[in-house]
Amino acid sequence: MRKLEPEKIMEILKAKGVDVTVEQAASILEFLRKMANIVVTQYLKRAGSKE
Domain boundaries, the chain: 6-49
Global pTM value: 0.79
Tens-digit pLDDT profile for residues 18-41: 999 999 999 999 999 999 999 999
Q: How confident is the model at residue 49 (pLDDT cuts 50, 70, 90)?
A: confident
- With contact defined as beta carbons under 8 Å apart, do 22 and 6 qualify? yes
Please give the single-letter amino acid code of residue 16: K
Gap between the Cα atoms of 29 and 7, Å rounded: 10
What pLDDT does 51 receive? 63
Gap between the Cα atoms of 8 and 6, Å rounded: 5
Kindly state the DSSP code that residue 3 receives in the 8-state scheme.
Answer: P
